[in-house]
Amino acid sequence: MRNFVLILGLLLTLSNCSYSKSLSVKQQKFVNPIFYQPLEPLSITVGWTYLTPNTIDFRTPLDKNIVDSTGQCELIENEQDHITLLCDITWRNEKRKEYYTYIIKDLFMPNCWRILEYHYQKIEDFSRNEMHAAKYCVTPPDYTLSKSN
């Protein structure tokens, strides 16, 4: 009887931990809401990108309505100036696990904050060399159209 009570207590504890972990994933939010904006490509070699703390959605460079690849993600870093996601990506029927780091770089134009995207398979492969990054544009939160625009 004692073993039964111990096993039942262990199962209840484990199920409670699992429930609270899934609840915390659902409640995750980016510290900086700028990362919820669609990432508009600054070149023709990448497409639009859409992020949430749990998903990533890449569109084709020629048509932002056509999905190129998607992934389920875990939010690894969540800072004001950058985020890192660890994602299980499905691309052309191939699955792989990759890290995606998005860094707010600088104000490119009055209506465009430049965002850099780095993707890599191992933490030690992360290179901050801007030449290896995809470049995107998002609207700064305090940007408003002036009469001249």
How far apart, in Å, do the first and last CA atoms of the chain sit? 77
Q: Tell me: the pLDDT tens digits for 72-110?
A: 999 999 999 999 999 999 888 889 999 999 999 988 888
Domain 31-138 grouped into CATH 2.40.128: yes
3-state secondary structure of 104: strand
Torsion angle of the four alpha carbons 133, 116, 26, 55, in this order, in degrees rounded to the nearest 10 = -40
Residue 23 CB-density burial (10 A; 0-12 exposed, 13-18 middle, 19+ buried): exposed
Intervals of the chain under pLDDT 50? 1, 3-26, 146-149
Please state the φ and ψ torsions of residue 34, each to the nearest 5 degrees.
Answer: -60, -30
